[in-house]
Amino acid sequence: MHQVPAETVETRSADAPAGLEDLLDGRLPDERGRFGPYGGRFVPETLMPALLRLEAESRRALADPGFQETLAWELATWVGRPTPLTRAPRLGERWNAELWFKREDLTHTGAHKINNALGQALLARHLGARRVVAETGAGQHGVAAAAACARIGIPCDVYMGEVDVRRQAPNVQRMRRLGARVIEVKSGDRTLRAAIDDALRDWVSDPRGTFYLLGSAVGPHPYPWLVRELQSVIGREARAQMLEQAGALPDVVVACVGGGSNAIGLFHPFLGDRSVELLGIEAGGDGDGIGHNAATVVHGSPGVLHGSRSLLLQDEHGQVQETHSVSAGLDYPGVGPEHAFLRDVGRVRYGSARDEQALEALDECCRLEGILSALETAHALAGARCWADANPGSRILVGLSGRGDKDLGILAERQPAPAGDL
């Protein structure tokens, strides 16, 4: 099997200025919702009362033992937490690494998205919302939102781009079975970016009666912070499990990055462990040019999208560009503001993996470990393989963010099932 050379994963980092300690001490985001120069609220005035109310109620709820007890109970008895930490010995032997997986693919609904969806659905009920709107790309957040809303008994509308409706048809069926209304978006690029645009327009029309259940660590404050807080259960569990099962922290933690919710949830509890490298892998698509990838941190520049200032894929005139990835969940031209900040302060390195690298890593994981990962996760696997090439014998923790059942149609087109052994 062809091994991808380590240098094919592009990385970009900076010398660490002041700022990381403020994040670790809880002083970031600041009162304006900023992580350094990133974040904030760039929204119509009609949304400001809803955002301010959401921030105040979220902070109260997350500090309330009663709310936390309810959330923990649902995570344990309905979602299936804690998720396992799994050693991957055969794949690790091939890559010359001690390889571990944090198994978010084993949650109810099959991905990390349910952690955030459940927490926000409980907040929606607490705030007295009459309905929930959500957006989705790969469909996993839509499925999680639909399931969480069914669990608590609140109507849910999910916006999904026409392109993604076609390539993620199984998840569309799941959302509808769970009682959600799937609204197909035929404007714009007809992918995740357009779905967020339409969900925001819906929310603006009724910001008090409608709760916007945002699925990634993007958007106006408090969403990047709130999603981080709800997803950090991944990293807290993984850190404790590594110490218990491996007897040591990992040398590197690797996660895929689109908007960045699974990555920030996994990375955040490790930020203070300076011996642990953190590596985010974006979608390198099929090339470096505009429209050929979704590698926002690697190729992007600062700008405003969906209510937040962060890194974007844009042209010299500030026009946000279309993206490409074999993975619907990474096919987004922006990234969460906390990721942009962590790049700037040098705490996290970011790279990209091409479509073919991700498909190859997915195939290896399937056939050596018996685990079919999501195409999003496959980018993290490709990044981990490149890290192992450059750092033989490393202890590597990979965030297995979701399972790949939803991607079987794409895989059948792009990568027919092979016969025989590797």
Residue whose entry in the numeric block shows the structure tokens 């942009």: 340
Beta bridge partners of 182: 158
Beta bridge partners of 282: 352
β-pair type (85-87, 98-103): antiparallel
Give the active site residue among 58, 74, 104, 113: 113
Indicate if 135 belongs to the active site.
yes
Give the active site residue among 216, 310, 325, 401: 401
**DSSP letter at 216?**
S
User: Strands, E, within 245-371: which ranges?
Assistant: 252-256, 277-285, 301-305, 308-312, 349-354
Give the active site residue among 104, 135, 364, 369: 135
The total of other beta-carbon atoms located within 10 Å of residue 1's CB is 9
Question: With the CA atoms of 47, 203, 148 and 176 taken in that order, what torsion angle do they form, in degrees rounded to the nearest 10?
Answer: -170
Q: Which residues, 6+ apart, have CB-to-CB distance to 361 below 8 Å?
A: 353, 378, 379, 381, 382, 384, 385
Indicate if 401 belongs to the active site.
yes
**DSSP letter at 334?**
B
Q: Note whether 235 and 278 are within 8 A (CB).
A: no
Burial of 125 (0-12, 13-18, 19+ CB in 10 A): middle
**Active-site residue list:** 113, 135, 401
